[in-house]
Amino acid sequence: MTVSFILNGEDVSAKARSADRLSDFLREAFALLGPRSDCRCGHCGRCLVFLDGRLVPACLVPAFAVRGKEVVTIEGFSQTADYSDIAEGFKSAGVESCGFCAAPRIMAASALLERHPRPMPREILEYMSCAPCRCTDPEAIVRGVVAASELRARRLYRRAGQ
């Protein structure tokens, strides 16, 4: 079947098999290697994408289910100002990432800040648990998201003033 949807801001369409998962579909049909197809049961969070603005594990979404919807992967998200705030916040707080959990963590931080612009440490850690990884220094993660929230607030304040 042909699936048409908006991917990272562009109208796209590609052929998918009925059993294809969105994570595999994005990698194979669009060569987007950001979402990884790892545990295939929604545990590991390596395949997180925004589907109509909601953070979902792409391995649990059938490819055909995104027809007419909007999908944003880390490749698309990395072009946004939100991404810059979070990446900058993580860097300033010394968040060390193994390279595999960085993308889902950044996307999870964005989803959290969208919902709670000034999150508490516990909320931060709850959100970050969506991409479990052994490389995690919880203290640095909290500092990183707090720093990102401040950068984001400053940017939104500046934009509102313009």
Partner 1 sequence: MICVATVRSPTARGSVRSIRFPKLPAGYRSILPADIPGRNAIVSFGAEVPILAQDKVSYAGEPVALVAGPDPVLLEELVASTKVACDEEEPQLAWESFSSDQVVAKRIAVVGDPELAFSIAASVHEDVYTSGAIEHYYSEPQGAASAYDYDKIAVWCATQWPYHVRDSVALALGCRAEEVSVRPTRLGIHLDGKLWYPSLLACQAAIASIVCGRPAKILLTREEDFRFTPKRARSSVNVRAGLGKGGELSAMDVRIAINVGAYGPLAEEILSQAVLACTGAYACPNLRIEGYAVATNTPPMGAFGGLGSSHAFFAMEAHVNRMASAMGEDPADWKSRNVLRKGSRLLTGEPLKEEVPYEAILARLVASSDYRRKYAGYELVRKRRSGRADGPLRGIGLAFAYQGAGAFLSGDSSNSYTVEATLDKELSLRIFTSAAGGAGGVRDVWRGIAAEILGIEPDKVTIATPDTDQVPDSGPSTLSRNVSIVAHLVERACLAIQKRRFRDPLPLTARSVHRVPRPIRWEGGQVSGSPFDTAAWAGTVVELELEPWTLEPHPLGVWICVDGGRVVAPGRAAASLRSGAADALGACLIERVDPTASPLAYFRYALLPLEDLPPIHVDFIEPSRRAPVKGIGELPFDTLPAAFISALSQAADSAFASLPVTPARLIGALGVR
Which residue of 33, 81, 135, 156 would you call a contact of partner 1, by CB under 8 A?
Answer: 135
Using the rule CB under 8 A, which residue among 122, 157, 159, 162 binds partner 1? 122
Chain centroid offset of residue 35 CA: 9
Stretch that binds partner 1, among 1-9, 70-78, 126-134, 152-160 (CB under 8 A): 126-134
Helix (H, G, I), strand (E, B) or coil at 52: coil
Q: Using CB under 8 A, which residues numbered 30 to 49 contact partner 1?
A: 36, 38-41, 43-44, 46
Number of residues that bind partner 1 (CB under 8 A): 31
Which contacts (CB < 8 Å, 24+ apart) does range 125-133 have? Answer: 130/45, 130/48, 130/55, 130/104, 131/44, 131/45, 131/46, 131/48, 131/101, 131/104, 131/105, 132/43, 132/44, 132/45, 132/101, 133/97, 133/98, 133/100, 133/101
Does the protein bind partner 1 through residue 23 (CB under 8 A)? no
Q: Does 15 bind partner 1 (CB under 8 A)?
A: no
Q: Smallest gap, in angstroms, from Cβ of residue 6 to partner 1?
A: 27
Asked if 134 interacts with partner 1 (CB under 8 A), we say yes
Nearer Cβ to partner 1, position 8 or 133? 133
Structure tokens at 120: 């508490």
Q: What ranges in 41-137 are assigned the alpha helix state H?
A: 74-77, 81-92, 102-115, 121-128
Residues near partner 1 (CB under 8 A): 17, 19, 36, 38-41, 43-44, 46, 94, 96, 98-101, 122, 125-126, 128-129, 132-141
